[in-house]
Amino acid sequence: MKILTVDTCPFPDQKPGTSGLRKKVPVFQQPHYLENFVQSIFDSIQAPPGATLVLGGDGRYYNRHAIQIILKMAAANGFGKVLAGRGGILSTPAASCVIRKYQTFGGIILSASHNPGGPTEDFGIKFNSSNGGPATETVTEAIFARSKNISAYRILEADDVALDQAGTTMLGNMQVEVIDPVADYADLMESLFDFGAIRALLGSGFRIRFDAMHAVNGPYAWEILEQRLGAPAGSVLNAVPLEDFGGGHPDPNLTYAHDLVEIMYGADAPDFGAASDGDGDRNMILGKRFFVTPSDSLAVLAANATLAPGYRSGLAGIARSMPTSAAADRVARALNIPCYETPTGWKFFGNLMDAGKVTLCGEESFGTGSSHVREKDGLWAVLFWLNILAARKQPVESIVREHWAKFGRNFYSRYDYEALPSDAANGLMQHLRDSFTSLAGRQFGRYAIQTCDDFSYTDPVDGSISKNQGVRLLFSDGSRIIFRLSGTGTDGATLRVYLEAYEADASMHHLDAQQALQELIAIALQVSELELRTGRNKPTVIT
C-alpha cells in the first residue's frame, strides 16, 4: 500500500449549505469531485495525527462507494482510526451519538436527508464536529475556501474494506472498526425513556405503525420498537433501507408519507402512527385520524417532558427555528424558562445546548431533538410521544386538544414551491425586501402589518451574527407570514411560505388550519406577487 498524491483542479460549486454539500449523484461521480471536497474537509479541520473519525450514511445510492474513497483518504491523511457503520449505515442522530459516546474528533455523514435517492437523484456529505453537531459556519466557510484553491488530494492505494461484518481491519497504518450501527443509539434511547411503561402500553392492545420509508431508520425502529419494546411484527413498515428508497420520496409529511396517512385515516386506524426520513433525523406524528404539526409536537413534548425519566429534572430552556410557530414560547413562559428563536439550521441549537441554555429544540420542518445528541432525532421524538401516551393513558388527539385549551392554538401551515428558477425566487425575495416601507402599517382586512424585517440572529454563546435568514411580516395580533429560500434542495430554488395565526378561543380550535389561515394565505400571495413572478398557481407541498 502506498499513498498517492493526485493532481486536481478546483470545482466552483462546492459551497456547503445548512446541511453540508448536496448535489445530484452524477455531479459527485465526476472525476475528483468527491475527493476534492473530502480533502478540503481534512485540510480545514486540523485533526491531530492519529485522530478518530466516525463514518456512515443513510444507505442511499453512492453511499458505499463514497465510504471506500473516504476511508482510503482518511488513511492517507493521518487518521489513526475510523468507526464505520456496518454496511455503511449510520443514521444522522446515531452518528452524533457515536461521536459523543466515544469522544472522537468528529465524523463524516453521507446523506441528503429527506431528498430522493438513486442514480440520478441526490447525494450529500457533511462534517460533524466533536460535539456531534454540524460544523460551524466558520468551519464550512474554511472548507469552501480550501475547495476553491485545492491542487491535489491524498489517497491510499489499497483494496476496499469489507463493511458487512463487524470487526477490525487495518488500512495502511489506520484501523477501521466496523460497528453495529444501532446498538449504541438504542442503548441511549433506553436510558432516556421508560421502556417498561411503553412495553406495557404496546402489550395492552395499543396499536402503532412506524413507516421507515425504506430509509435508514428501518433497522433502528425494528430493533427498538419490535425487539426491545415488543410491538407486534409488522408494526414497522418499509423497514429495509434501499438505495433509491423504494422509488419513494423519504420526507415524512402528509404528502410523501401517503401510505401511512391512508392507514392512520382509515376505518381501522391504529392508535399511533409515525414516520421518519432518509437519514432518520425527521419525524411525523399522527394519532387516529389526527395530524400533529411539528410546531405543536415540540410544544407538547416540552409541556410533558418530566414524564420521561431522562427529563424528570426539568428543562433548561427551549429553542425553535424562526419559522417554527410560537406554540413552544407559550409553554416556556408557563414553565418560566427561556425560549430562543434561531435561524434554521441545527448548528445554532448545538451552541445553545453546549452552553447548557436549552434542553429541547425543534424546527417546523419535522425536526425535533434534545441535548442527548447534537442533531434532530426522528425516532427519539417517536419514543418521547410513546412515553407520554403510556404515562397519560389518553389518545394523541385528546392530549393535543387539552394542550390547545390550556395554551391556545397556533394555526400553522407551510407552502413549499420546489424547483423554482433561482432568478425568479431571488427576485421575489428582493421584491419583498423593497416593499418593507410600504407594507409596514398597512391593513389587510382584519390583519394589520405591524412591522417587516429580514430576520437576523446574534448568537448568545459566541456572538456570531447571521443575517438575511428570512423575510417576516409581523401582524399586530401576533400572526406571521414568513418567506424563506430553503438551503436543502439540489434543483433550482425552493421557496417556503410559512403562515401562523394564534387563536385563544377554544371554540375555534376545531377549525381546519387551511380554513383558519385563508386570509393570511391570500395576503401572502398578494404582497409577494408569487404567481406572477414564478408562474406557479399552487404549491408543490402543503404541510
- Look up cell 453546549; give the residue: 354
**Cell digits of residue 320:** 425553535
Residues 439/449, Cβ–Cβ less than 8 Å: yes
**Cell digits of residue 30:** 465526476
- Identify which of 78, 179, 133 has the alpha carbon closest to the alpha carbon of residue 374: 133
Distance of CA 10 to the CA centre of its chain: 30
Q: Which of 44, 96, 113, 235 is catalytic?
A: 113
**Residues, the chain:** 543
Active site residue 19: no
Rg, C-alpha atoms of the chain = 23
**Cell digits of residue 372:** 442527548
Residues 25/119, Cβ–Cβ less than 8 Å: yes
Query: For the chain, percent helix, then strand, then coil, each to nearest 5?
Result: 35, 25, 40
Phi, psi (rounded to 5 degrees) for 439: -85, -35
- Identify which of 84, 34, 32, 81 has the alpha carbon closest to the alpha carbon of residue 59: 84
Using CA atoms, how far residue 182 sits from 86, 88, 260, 274, 447, in Å, is 9, 12, 24, 19, 50
Q: Are strands 81-89 and 52-57 parallel, antiparallel or unpaired?
A: parallel
**CB neighbours (10 Å) of residue 462?**
11
Residues 362/297, Cβ–Cβ less than 8 Å: yes
Active site residues: 113
